[in-house]
Structure 1
Amino acid sequence: MDLNPQRIDQRLVKAATDARLLGKEEEFDLARRWRDDHDHAALQQLMGAYLRLVISMASKYRHYGLPANDLVQEGCLGLIQAADRFEPERDIRFSTYASWWIRSAIQDYVLRNWSIVRTGTTAAQKKLFFNLRRLRSLIGQSTGNDSAAPISAETRQRIATQLGVKQQEVDYMEARLTGGDQSVNAPVGEEGDNEWQDYIADDRAIPEDAVMTAHDTQIRLGWLKQAMETLTEREKLIIQERRLGEESVTLAVLGDQLGISKERVRQIEHQALGKLRKALLRLVGGDPHRVGLIPST
């Protein structure tokens, strides 16, 4: 048994080689039978005929260090997606249509498994991931430079222009492809017990502070809710729209809504803020430092 992970199972290769090629009308008929009648025999025949296409495309991605048979399996999933979405009425050969789905499925698998850190999260990063090495090699050959050496700023700019991405994205991908992954539990230096994770700063609040902040916020919100009950309905509306919403509504908009001038809205807001402050001070025993919710008038 061949245990080389970079070698495709020879039984798959033989099955793909032995499968009969389909003519245009025949593949259209099989696609219709699968789409309209969910004929699994038609789907199996369609997949068997194009298994060689999956193997061919999977072979192009073996240098990423992933098991070749897994690449073939992902390509087969893309082939099934193509069969589900294929429309014979568009008069496009199934192999042409399926190639896109097979390539996309394999590339997504490579991006998910090449590194424990997600690499291609945008279309630009995905394009860079699969083209950066090739373009580096081509530019190196044309300029006589070593394609394995760090690329210059001029070369990075040429790559960015050719792929239609920003140079900063080329810099990021170059660092990701050459840096590799490193465990945070790896020791720092050859001697000593310190690990890399010991030097990672945590900017979050310590648990005790986070709990106290959440507790104090709930209490202050309760005070504010009680204080709001001292306002009229119009005053509540103005305070909510002007001070307590995610975005402050303008005086003019509120004036049109209430049928008054924007200057009158400003006066009511000022008056309502004063009432709120007095109510809140009564609730907290006259200590203004305990309130911290309503902005100054």
Structure 2
Amino acid sequence: MTPSTALAVRDPWSLVPSLGNLDAYIAAVNRLPILTQEEETRYARQYREQNDLEAARKLVMSHLRLVVSVSRQYLGYGLPHGDLIQEGNIGLMKAVKRFDPAQGVRLVSYALHWIKAEIHEYILKNWRMVKVATTKAQRKLFFNLRSMKQHLKDDAADADTHRSTLTDREIDTVARELNVKREEVIEMETRLAGGDVALEPTVEDGEESYAPIAYLADESQEPTRLLEAQRRDELATDGVARALEVLDPRSRRIVEERWLKVNDDGSGGKTLHELAADYGVSAERIRQIEAAAMKKMRKALAEYA
């Protein structure tokens, strides 16, 4: 017997390899000893009363095979088995942290809830990029609907066995057994049936592709557009005010009366002929004054910008 083999015999808790494939891990955890009720109670008390981390480690290690067993029930979601086991192990550690042996319940029964809860959370976050279930009721419906659909397919004897959607009778059956509204079953069935859509086109799609990224982006919040809008606002307020300051009083009044004032009825400013009557000159003269004023203002705005 080699020294390493002898060590493994003396310390059965060292059987789980630190590295290796998933099959090696599963084989190792299945060789770990199962605690008796007396041992489980003793270790749980040591951890709760003395914060004995070694006792907590033994409680976790002895139930790793439980996580492997539970995780196999969720392989149908297409997620890596190793990731499911990892998330389940997190739930197991949470259960050990909260376990109270004085309640008279075995850890295996108490830990099931925490293991499944962590695996459920992982599936809901990673099964689809967009969440299909956000509330507690939707989560319950999500997991139960998948399993019930499979049972309904297995029980179907007609030639339409390979259909993916539920019939009206099956929807009523699911709603009745799960005690939910018929509309909720239809909505969840639609979410499950919908596939993921790539936001950006793939290379094979060609130049004519029109992926969602082309119309989902909010251009109004794009940084360069925001800066441009901010700059336009500054030019429309401070810039125009400074440009008006370079004009003589008559030119400034003509520009303001023509372009910056609004009548009570919502119409624009005065016409060339109206201003010509006010100043006792021709409309052509008002146009010349206006043109010269605009030239000065454009120069002032360019310097301000």
Is TM > 0.5 for Structure 1 vs Structure 2? yes
Matched, 1:180 2:188: no
Aligned-CA RMSD value: 3.4
**Between 33-42 and 94-103, the greater mean CA deviation after superposition:** 33-42
- Summarize deviations over 1:91-137 as a string: whole Å, max 9, x none: 01110001111111111111111111122211222122212222122
Alpha-carbon distance in structure 2 between the residues aligned to 1:44 and 1:51: 11
TM-score by length of 1: 0.62
CA drift at 1:204: 8.9
- CA 1:186–1:157: 2 relative to 1, 3 Å: farther
- Summarize deviations over 1:167-187 as a string: whole Å, max 9, x none: 233223222222221112136
2:146 to 133, 137, 145: 133
- Conserved 8 A contact 1:136-1:147: no
Partner of 2:171: 156
Alpha-carbon distance in structure 1 between the residues aligned to 2:123 and 2:213: 31
- Conserved 8 A contact 2:79-2:127: yes
Amino acid at match of 2:51: H
Partner of 2:132: 119
CA drift at 1:147: 5.3
CA drift at 1:138: 2.1
Partner of 1:93: 106
- Conserved 8 A contact 1:184-1:195: no
- Summarize deviations over 1:119-169 as a string: whole Å, max 9, x none: 221122212221222212222344425154321233222212211222233
Amino acid at match of 2:34: L
- Conserved 8 A contact 2:200-2:212: yes
CA drift at 1:194: 3.5
Flag the structure with larger Rg: 2
Alpha-carbon distance in structure 2 between the residues aligned to 1:193 and 1:36: 68
Alpha-carbon distance in structure 2 between the residues aligned to 1:150 and 1:45: 47
Alpha-carbon distance in structure 2 between the residues aligned to 1:198 and 1:116: 15
Matched, 1:73 2:86: yes
- Conserved 8 A contact 1:111-1:120: yes
- CA 1:51–1:148: 2 relative to 1, 3 Å: farther
CA drift at 1:198: 5.8
Partner of 1:292: none
Deviating runs (4+, > 3 A) in structure 1?
140-143, 189-192, 198-208
- Conserved 8 A contact 2:132-2:192: no
Identity of aligned residues (%): 33
**Between 66-75 and 135-144, the greater mean CA deviation after superposition:** 135-144
Aligned residues: 214
**Between 178-187 and 90-99, the greater mean CA deviation after superposition:** 178-187
- Conserved 8 A contact 1:132-1:159: yes
- CA 1:76–1:141: 2 relative to 1, 3 Å: closer
Matched, 1:35 2:48: yes
Alpha-carbon distance in structure 1 between the residues aligned to 2:126 and 2:104: 36
